[in-house]
Structure 1
């Protein structure tokens, strides 16, 4: 049965009759903005997930809190969600081809795009999800938006905590954080955490329960130094050791696998971020930021999903992708202070220059091919950008920015495929914001984002599909943000329309004659995405808080078609057919997404939080019509606090509802069902019911 999201709101509607006391909500600052603006004052759609929400869901990883943001989804196909979609736009996987991202991921200023396994949430202060193209601030990394994770900063006062949790599936986590002043002008914070779980798969062939396990360790050190009253230096050191298993797909879409060669989903990352902020004078301040990261990752899996005891349809195969990443960036910008405003003291300004280099090397070991595949990708970018904010009147402000980016991709592989793309890209944004009374901010904006073109690596791709062009994203957005009832009720409403030009679409279909997938990126003529987003946080009275997030999305192709082979009963190619997807919904773009939470404090020490999230069905891919199922999930957390001690019992997916986080179709992987026209739907299942007992001691 399809669940309507409004059913969740109707169940809680009686709460709206309760009068509010004068209990103001905390402010939330968006760190990804040039000037660190409050979420209620920034004229664009942004969700800030704070550390209290992270703790309330007992979340270990980014994928477990994304439902707090409307119209945001993720694709797994691994032990964790690595790839993210905002308003229906974003990648879903990576195999041989290099990927230019649509949704960027920053962790403490370090570029972790495409390396989402490291997006753990221990000692994280907040997660910011910026929806819509970030053409001025981030350029090519953020066609659809940006996810910015910020961990807790060092403090001058000595503080810290230790925490532990344990739950079903042999899950447990242990962590500690310590912060304080080293000297009068130096502060430091150190956090370490480990989480392990057997996972929720039973491998029947190997008689093991840990082939899809999670083994994640994070260590972070942050330092802050104030050389004088006008400047500050910040340094972050990050180490991530992710050693997860990957054994998820089955012929019957269950949690019982038959594979004889389970895969791995591992990542080893060392990274740093360094920033220097200085007020040069009363008119201008300077910010310099640089970061570097070095990562090695393995993504491998049993391609046929079964053992020799259950005959594989296409022959036994194991696929392993070993990648190394090196990423470096530097960003220098100057910002006006109050005495540095221009145009008759009406305009604040920001101007900057940005440099980025990415190196990505791949070694693919495929058991059906004795020759190791190797490729190298080098991406370099230099950008200049500026943003100005002009006060047209006390109530009306015009914000306008532009970014010019020189982007170059160099790709080469040992099978003879190589190529270079070199292009100059332009993006930016114009926003008109107005005060609609004392407690209401309205805005309308036009933004242009871009994603560079590139080279398709499959040697069998036709010459006309060897390269693909830049995609552009033109977005119009209208929004209102309000603070009501003595600042106890915050609301944010946005409507948007996106025109996707030269849309990059991953065409992935199963080539029956060679028993392999053909993957390549191509440009659809055009797509359009439009929708509505509503968020509210209401401190109904001192003991009761109610949070809601609601997203509606219509995302479809305006014009997209491709050629596909036709086979006879003996798998001989007998022709081809044109597949027309015009008018069909885009992949991983559910029509609705809803999340709501009620937190009630029975006493000063005892509280209960009940949450529900719902998501509509959505297509797994743009090249076939199999879908993920709609689902409604329930979560809860009962917490007890006494002084420095926190004790909690939490549960996610309490009704044990099956969900789909990745899927395939258009082929038949069952050796006992050989009919060519009998194609299957294969889905990776999301988390089952997870229950945790938690304890935290602060000092």
Structure 2
């Protein structure tokens, strides 16, 4: 299906949709409301529902409606469109890493890395799973700056809170389908009551897309990943004060592999590799969680238990083009990457009731992780296996924590926030490295305990605006990286984060305009980085500093127009000299890799009721939006050998709504601008490689809500 055919089909379908719908719309649909205002942004940043304006740190929130309208396939795509957040990925199912404001593991380091805490419905999960499907999401909160007080994942750089839709005591749901030349997606969700005390919800997602890279040998895309996700939840209202929520989720991705593409690839990214090398790649995630809440007269007890079991297998491939450039011979080299991750978590807390003048929470958490990360096979072209070459690694982590935080009003103007957490971390590591049948054994362990927290003040300028200032201490525990190949090279050091932030949050023009702005300073001792040489990667710890400014606004101009945007300036630099790096010296003043100085997004949404057509009994509403994002150039590696180019991206959505149905045309990256997902540099050969983004996608979608 080519683009012209899609556009033609879209126009015919949009015209036909006016005849398909026959819902009656009352006269007041066209009448202007007496008053309009933005909805209040409520969040769960401190594990209880609060007004975002009242909290003394930066929070970016995107709701599920916007996620579905923008057509994001994964949380990874959501975060890439968030200024101040950086994503490094090669496009595989198990290689996402996040940094916020230049703090965090700047390349995939370890599945146990907790630089950015990721929580789904209150349960921590690894950032390595963010390439899996995004579906049936209520909202996503990006909490910037150290969040070490409340999250078991520690969150030295920040935290990502993902909230999914819950069962309700009324029947509701939606169906949404999108199809384009190089991708398709289907989402279905339905929920409602089973009895007076029981309600349930089930959500299903299925999607597929093409990697934007051609295989020279087949003249086709190197792979076509597809994803399947199913989530079911059951809510039992045991009494007026007690409830239990059980959630079971299964996700599977297939044919996703790491893309290592010789640069420059310009507008024609290509690889030269054995066909079918990704065919046996897949990742499976099974997760169960149980949330129990009980309301006392003046407080609430919450228990969240979760267990997840993840398995991934996929090749890491250096194709003929990269291998020849690096090694001088026209060959192919691959490693079969195999990992498993079994994690049990428990969080138990007692907190104030929503709406109380004084917010407080005290709690305890536990995490038990048992995982492996292996290169079980290595080989070359045509799947020839090199016998006697492999690495097997086992990792065990136990983490205990106790925490408390409170916000207390001093008077009508001032509030003070204080939080503290004590964490105990125990990690064990053992590995077998085998080359040409010669084996080397390695084992080590780490015991650490540390204190994190924050202190903040909020001052109400008036009933619409709050000033705030916060100082925070975060911590990135030491550990053992996933890619150790020699005895003693897996261990990396802990990092300490100190951050200060000052900002203002305002709701103006009778809450038609919301503006948040902040300045921040963050200092990190022993930030995590990766040093790459040849086909191997090693850990580098280096001190870094980040200084920046962020601005977010949302303006409901009138009933038809909504304008919103985000801007982030981040100046992140390396503060010490590292001479033991295999990729070359790391100099003082180098830019922190993969952290652009400037990021911005702006969105314009427009809705209006179209003139009525006499032959129709229904009204039709035009629903449009235009999204623009910009990212400035950024360093590719710690040595700053080269920069990844700046890029602009424009997306659009044009639809017709009648009643509870919408038919629409969508466009992603409509100017077809390729940009880099990551970049590496081989110091010995000056070879650069990376992975490109998707090009232009134009498609047709349909959505039905009930």
What TM-score, normalized by structure 1, do the two folds share? 0.87
CA distance 1:689–1:520, shift in 2 (3 Å): same
Structure 1 residue 291 corresponds to structure 2 residue 316: no
SS of equivalent residue, structure 1 residue 40: helix
Q: 2:458 aligns with which of 412, 430, 433?
A: 433
- Tell me the equivalent position of 2:394: 376
SS of equivalent residue, structure 1 residue 270: strand
Checking the alignment, whether the CA contact within 8 Å between 1:417 and 1:459 is kept in structure 2 is no
Task: Output the aligned Cα RMSD.
Answer: 2.5
- Tell me the equivalent position of 1:694: 701
Checking the alignment, whether the CA contact within 8 Å between 1:79 and 1:214 is kept in structure 2 is no
After TM superposition, which residue ranges in structure 1, 4 or more long, deviate above 6 angstroms? 307-312, 457-460
CA distance 1:504–1:310, shift in 2 (3 Å): closer
- Tell me the equivalent position of 1:497: 521
Checking the alignment, whether the CA contact within 8 Å between 2:132 and 2:227 is kept in structure 1 is no
- Tell me the equivalent position of 2:593: 587
Q: Output aligned runs, 1:666-685, within 5 Å.
A: 666-667=682-683, 679-685=686-692
SS of equivalent residue, structure 1 residue 681: strand
Checking the alignment, whether the CA contact within 8 Å between 2:531 and 2:581 is kept in structure 1 is no
CA distance 1:361–1:564, shift in 2 (3 Å): closer
CA distance 1:155–1:466, shift in 2 (3 Å): closer
Matched residues in 2 for 1:392 and 1:307: separation?
63
Deviation of 1:21 (Å)? 8.4
Deviation of 1:347 (Å)? 4.8
SS of equivalent residue, structure 2 residue 66: helix
- Tell me the equivalent position of 2:69: 56
Q: Output aligned runs, 1:256-275, within 5 Å.
A: 256-260=270-274, 262-263=277-278, 266-275=282-291
- Tell me the equivalent position of 1:507: 531
- Tell me the equivalent position of 1:572: none
Checking the alignment, whether the CA contact within 8 Å between 1:109 and 1:273 is kept in structure 2 is no
Checking the alignment, whether the CA contact within 8 Å between 2:561 and 2:604 is kept in structure 1 is yes
CA distance 1:555–1:197, shift in 2 (3 Å): same
CA distance 1:453–1:272, shift in 2 (3 Å): same
Deviation of 1:560 (Å)? 2.9
SS of equivalent residue, structure 2 residue 212: coil
Matched residues in 2 for 1:562 and 1:307: separation?
27
Matched residues in 2 for 1:247 and 1:376: separation?
22
Structure 1 residue 106 corresponds to structure 2 residue 119: yes
Matched residues in 2 for 1:259 and 1:117: separation?
27
SS of equivalent residue, structure 2 residue 53: coil
Checking the alignment, whether the CA contact within 8 Å between 1:532 and 1:553 is kept in structure 2 is yes
Q: 1:352 aligns with which of 339, 363, 368?
A: 363
CA distance 1:458–1:649, shift in 2 (3 Å): closer
Deviation of 1:662 (Å)? 1.2
- Tell me the equivalent position of 2:103: 89
Deviation of 1:214 (Å)? 2.0
CA distance 1:68–1:479, shift in 2 (3 Å): farther
Structure 1 residue 561 corresponds to structure 2 residue 578: yes
SS of equivalent residue, structure 1 residue 183: coil
SS of equivalent residue, structure 2 residue 220: coil
Cα-to-partner distance string for 1:488-527 (whole Å, 9 max, x where unaligned): 10111111100112323323333xxxxx42x332432x22
Q: Output aligned runs, 1:23-62, within 5 Å.
A: 23-62=36-75
Q: Output aligned runs, 1:377-526, within 5 Å.
A: 377-414=395-432, 415-455=440-480, 467-510=491-534, 516-517=535-536, 519-524=537-542, 526=543
What TM-score, normalized by structure 2, do the two folds share? 0.86
- Tell me the equivalent position of 2:213: 201
Deviation of 1:311 (Å)? 11
Q: Output aligned runs, 1:164-203, within 5 Å.
A: 164-169=177-182, 171-203=183-215
CA distance 1:309–1:33, shift in 2 (3 Å): closer
Structure 1 range deviating more: 307-316 or 632-641: 307-316
Deviation of 1:697 (Å)? 1.8
Deviation of 1:361 (Å)? 1.1
Cα-to-partner distance string for 1:634-665 (whole Å, 9 max, x where unaligned): 11100111012111111111100111011111
Structure 1 residue 639 corresponds to structure 2 residue 655: yes
Deviation of 1:616 (Å)? 0.7
Deviation of 1:198 (Å)? 3.0
CA distance 1:247–1:321, shift in 2 (3 Å): closer
Cα-to-partner distance string for 1:508-548 (whole Å, 9 max, x where unaligned): 333xxxxx42x332432x22101011000000111000001
Deviation of 1:70 (Å)? 2.2
CA distance 1:595–1:228, shift in 2 (3 Å): same
Matched residues in 2 for 1:310 and 1:430: separation?
52
Checking the alignment, whether the CA contact within 8 Å between 2:394 and 2:430 is kept in structure 1 is yes
Checking the alignment, whether the CA contact within 8 Å between 2:326 and 2:687 is kept in structure 1 is no
Q: 2:249 aligns with which of 218, 226, 238?
A: 238
SS of equivalent residue, structure 1 residue 120: coil
Residue ranges of structure 1 left out of the alignment (5+ in a row): 1-19, 511-515, 566-576, 668-675
